[in-house]
Amino acid sequence: MSFKSLGLSDALLKAISKKGYETPSAIQQKAIPLILERKDVLASAQTGSGKTAGFALPMLQILNSEPALRQRPVRALILTPTRELAAQVQDEFKDYSEFTDLRSTVIFGGVGANPQIKALRNGVDILVATPGRLLDLVDQRALTLSKVEILVLDEADRMLDMGFVRDIKKILALLPSKRQNLLFSATFSKEIKKLAADFLHQPVLVEATPENTTVEKIDQTVYRVDKALKTDLIIKLISEGNWQQVLVFTRTKHGANRLSEKLEKAKITSAAIHGNKSQGARTRALSGFKEGKVRVLVATDIAARGLDIPLLPHVINYELPNISEDYVHRIGRTGRAGASGEALSLVSLDEVGYLRDIEKLIGERLQPKILSDFQPTETMADVKAAEEEKKQQKAHRHSRGRNAQPKKPAQAKNQGSGRNRGRR
């Protein structure tokens, strides 16, 4: 099947060919004709499935076939859970609309509102937004939503997980009741189905991958490993495998920072990305990772949501997520665009319950490999020795501060043993 046979206009076909896409993905083949028929759509699609083009292309075609309104009020609104996803969706809209007269912009929190307000005043046809900033700017009367014809909830499951349900309801109340609604979600929980029932009008259900199952091309490996040895194992896997682009998931922001620091000490370039980082830091980390300057990106689930990193060969779960659906999202980062990928999970004893839940969700048994002969790597031993040395030096400084005469012999002995341990 070709993009042309989906009924897309020449202006869009030109942009698609400029992007280098040859055939529409499964979700695109199913969703594009339905959206062009102006149906409400409830789509199950993961990041990496091509879902963005799946809604952006038909939306652009619809908007481009209508005469532009004089003041260019927003006619299409796309809500996303995170700033990163909003920026990526907008980038795609910009690329696909290059040969049309349509304008799009993006608004999200964490950065100054003034440039966003200015862009809105100039008039835009398509607005990509995170819910909080959108409501702020509506309150400031920087935009009106009364002319919205098409609404998209992208990664709707994540929006609910992040507690956006009230914001979404407020936004829905600001839109005209006659409009086309599209809901995209990687997983279909009861809550998503309820949201869909509340605001979609006789939706057509589109599924590109079976509900809550993992992508077939992904090799999933589980290692049973002591919590204390996880960092050593990650360093060993990355170094010995000579992996150059690895996405690692941790459960907490603090854990992401800690692991990233340890990787850096082991001479593996790394950056952490999570909700406490500024927008600038997140963007820098992501672009460094995409350009190959940063070898390992350590992320929490929320921060990683929507990251567009094509052809990611390795994803590691440093800790299993306590929400099983997140496992599906995480490993969906690999094996993209038809390439094969590898997802590794390091599971300590206290996480076995999470593993059972994940197996239930994906309907697959993930037999853990036991690493009986695993020893910390030489590199990690060096890191430990350096840390030990630092501790000793600190203790030394401290004791010098208190006593005029430091206990030299004991100090020297401790330092020596630390170093020797490292070199063995």
Q: Can residue 24 be called a binding residue for ligand AMP (CB under 6 A)?
A: yes
| Lookup: tokens for 416 | 């020596």
Touching ligand AMP, residues 25-54 (CB under 6 A):
25, 28, 47-53
Q: What is d(CA 80, CA 419) in angstroms, rounded to the nearest whole number?
A: 51
Strand partners, 241: none
Q: How near is the Cβ of 318 to ligand AMP at its closest, in Å?
A: 24
Q: How near is the Cβ of 26 to ligand AMP at its closest, in Å?
A: 10
Taking CB under 6 A as the binding criterion, the range among 18-26, 57-65, 251-259, 317-325 that sits at the site for ligand AMP is 18-26
Task: Report the residue number, 54 or 73, with the smaller CB distance to ligand AMP.
Answer: 54
Q: How near is the Cβ of 201 to ligand AMP at its closest, in Å?
A: 24
Q: What is d(CA 191, CA 141) in angstroms, rounded to the nearest whole number?
A: 32
Tell me the three state secondary structure of residue 291.
coil
Q: Nearest 5°: phi and psi at 367?
A: -70, 115
| Residue choice 1, 337, 349, 370 for contact with ligand AMP (CB under 6 A) | 337
Per-residue x/- marks for ligand AMP, 395-414, CB under 6 A? Answer: --------------------
Q: What is d(CA 390, CA 398) in angstroms, rounded to the nearest whole number?
A: 12
Q: What is d(CA 292, CA 97) in angstroms, rounded to the nearest whole number?
A: 29
Task: Report the residue number, 8 or 320, with the smaller CB distance to ligand AMP.
Answer: 8
Q: Can residue 308 be called a binding residue for ligand AMP (CB under 6 A)?
A: yes
Task: Report the residue number, 47 or 100, with the smaller CB distance to ligand AMP.
Answer: 47
Rg, C-alpha atoms of the chain: 25
Task: Report the residue number, 52 or 220, with the smaller CB distance to ligand AMP.
Answer: 52
Taking CB under 6 A as the binding criterion, the range among 17-25, 191-199, 274-282, 399-407 that sits at the site for ligand AMP is 17-25
Exposure b/e, 338-362, CB count within 10 A at least 16 = b: eeebbbbbbbbeebeebbebbbebb
Residues 206/44, Cβ–Cβ less than 8 Å: yes
Q: How near is the Cβ of 6 to ligand AMP at its closest, in Å?
A: 11
| Lookup: tokens for 134 | 């959108």
Tell me the three state secondary structure of residue 26.
helix
Task: Report the residue number, 49 or 260, with the smaller CB distance to ligand AMP.
Answer: 49
Q: Can residue 310 be called a binding residue for ligand AMP (CB under 6 A)?
A: yes
Q: How near is the Cβ of 355 to ligand AMP at its closest, in Å?
A: 27
# binding residues, ligand AMP (CB under 6 A): 14
Strand partners, 223: 346, 369
Count of Cβ atoms closer than 10 Å to residue 405 Cβ: 7
Touching ligand AMP, residues 52-91 (CB under 6 A):
52-53
Q: How near is the Cβ of 49 to ligand AMP at its closest, in Å?
A: 5
Residues 130/155, Cβ–Cβ less than 8 Å: no
Task: Report the residue number, 197 or 337, with the smaller CB distance to ligand AMP.
Answer: 337
Binding site for ligand AMP (CB under 6 A): 21, 24-25, 28, 47-53, 308, 310, 337
